[in-house]
A and B are shown apart, each in its own frame.
Chain A
């Protein structure tokens, strides 16, 4: 697909994706609001700028691969896939319904465009490593495997097993993106199970570490470009995001981790997405 959107246009797209997320979750009556909204800028940047992909040919063998490891935030991926043209936007409101391709947690075999099945946490990074190793065996270059992880998910041992392996094999075509929103189901990450010093932990495992504002479109795009240029080791981007970003009453509140808005809340949220003072810049420039 042609990727020629300006930063302002990408920000506008992210707002539309957030609107879709609110509508989907309201319709479904359950699902994860905070993480999905917080990741909207990253997923917009990925599908509309960063990834080599062909929405009409989801199996194109030159594509970059995007794995969503923390599968509970899949509403953002469904919305981004639909907006990018992988499937009709009208299907989004079937989320979590009987017979829908949009399962509560993503299932690869159900929906073209998904690269794996996830939900149980901690499994994405090692799949990315397996993919990268297979590419190396086949001497495939200039294809990248992006894997989006949650921060709460980093409690899982499987992540660190994979981190160690990717460091060992210097899998430079793996780019990890951590949604560092500081919340998980039971509360703030640092009280549930402290992750800091996260930056140094990844470095100690043999990774190059970047830190960005994960709600800043330009920073997301620049960090991924820098990550692709680093060929000595795998790169992880710690993307500091605001959980619930764009909806004032959800922002920073861990209670919205696993909750969907009701009708009234959704109405209020949609209204805010269009009027929020200065938080969605494109709306106000």
Chain B
């Protein structure tokens, strides 16, 4: 674990909390200073998607499109055609939620490396309710040829993801979370698009998690270790392309898998892992996520509890599978 430079104690009461969208905003500003070809556009949500930091620093490289997500995506395609590297932001429910076909045709099929930033994804969107808590965006983007799908685990990783995206020659989707969540990684923690990372080594069962759910997986692993159950935790910040080598290497050892994501269990990380293992190494897989339901208003903690997405739920599932 040492080479990953994670924070020392995930159970610490004073673990730093920060929304990963903040990391995105900082990262875009930083890369914007280095690379003049970086441009940005937003659909009337500059501050909440944190793209305002870039917009204020580089007003001549920022385009406000208004509440028009179809235009946001296609405008991005046009900017990219002229050699720009456009980061386009909105809430994930609207982009890529509303403009999926524009993304498919004018970005993916047209092979224009536009960077789609979907903020306020998942249950952490909280009080806004089901309309805004998009739980299907990973599935939407994962189905598209050419697209890389990135779901950072914390703000520090999100910041690194922006720099990696700017240098990636594919269209990318970056999924972000509204509320502050624990920061697990440090500036020295590696991040590469397409790589998964073994955050905790163990032999009894592999927990494969993405985004802010990796924190819940790490907490579960700490507690279960004291009970004599040894979980391996793999953090998967890139859902597509999936790092099948890292996953298969672990599963050959443990032969049991739980996937954890703040997304529908269909079509997201759980789907991707189940597809991989069904073809390459069939073992028992249990998917933790939202089970074919919409979200609702509430505090993130209440929602995670209601939909079964906390460390407690991971622990209960692991105990059942490791007897």
Contact = CB atoms under 8 A, between A and B. Distances in A.
Interface of A: 107-109, 115-120, 122-123, 126-135, 137-138, 157-158, 161-162, 164-165, 169
B82 A116 contact: no
Contacts of B105: 117-120, 123
B81 A127 contact: yes
Contacts of A133: 63, 75, 78-79
Given A123-B77, A126-B70, A158-B70, 5 more contacts: A123-B106, A130-B86, A131-B78, A133-B63, A165-B66
A160 B18 CA distance: 38
Contact of B81 (A107, A116, A118, A120): A116
Contact of B77 (A109, A119, A130): A130
Interface of B: 39, 60-61, 63, 65-66, 68, 70-71, 74-84, 86, 101-102, 105-106, 109-111
Nearest to B61: A137
Contacts of B106: 116-118, 123, 127
Nearest to A143: B82
B224 to A, nearest CB: 49
B39 A126 contact: no
B79 to A, nearest CB: 4
Contacts of A123: 70, 74, 77, 102, 105-106
Given A134-B83, A137-B39, A161-B65, A127 B77 contact: yes
A134 B66 contact: no
Q: Which 3 pairs between the two chains have the least Cβ-Cβ distance?
A: A130-B78, A134-B82, A161-B71
A129 B75 CA distance: 6
B109 A115 contact: no
Nearest to A129: B75
Contacts of A164: 66, 68
A132 B84 CA distance: 12
Task: Say whether chain B's binding surface is mostly helix, strand, loop, or mixed.
Answer: helix
Contacts of A161: 65-66, 68, 70-71
21 contacts: A109-B109, A116-B106, A117-B106, A117-B110, A126-B70, A126-B71, A126-B77, A127-B106, A129-B71, A130-B77, A130-B81, A131-B79, A132-B78, A133-B79, A134-B39, A137-B61, A158-B70, A158-B102, A162-B74, A162-B75, A169-B63
A108 B82 contact: no
Contacts of A126: 70-71, 74-75, 77-78
B60 A137 contact: yes
A83 to B, nearest CB: 25
A245 B20 CA distance: 57
Contacts of B110: 107-109, 116-117
A117 B109 contact: yes
Nearest to B74: A126
Contacts of B79: 130-131, 133-134
A126 B78 CA distance: 7
Nearest to B104: A120
Contacts of A129: 71, 75, 78
Contacts of A118: 105-106
A218 B18 CA distance: 63
Task: Say whether chain A's binding surface is mostly helix, strand, loop, or mixed.
Answer: helix
A165 B41 CA distance: 12
Nearest to B39: A137
Contacts of B76: 130
Contacts of A107: 109-110
A137 B84 contact: yes
Contacts of A169: 63
Nearest to B71: A161
A223 B84 CA distance: 31
Contacts of A109: 109-111
Nearest to B60: A137
Given A116-B77, A118-B105, A119-B105, A162 B82 contact: no
A115 B78 CA distance: 10
Contacts of A127: 74-75, 77-78, 81, 106
A159 to B, nearest CB: 9
Contacts of B75: 126-127, 129-130, 133, 162, 165
A229 to B, nearest CB: 23
A135 B81 CA distance: 11
Contacts of B39: 134, 137
Contact of B70 (A134, A135, A157): A157
A131 B111 contact: no
B102 to A, nearest CB: 6
Nearest to B111: A109
A115 B110 CA distance: 9
B260 to A, nearest CB: 36
Nearest to B80: A130
Nearest to A131: B78
Contacts of B83: 134
Nearest to B105: A120
Contacts of A131: 78-79, 81-82
Given A116-B110, A162-B74, A165-B65, A138 B81 contact: no
Contacts of A132: 78
A218 to B, nearest CB: 31
A137 to B, nearest CB: 6
Nearest to B68: A161
Contacts of B82: 130-131, 134-135, 138
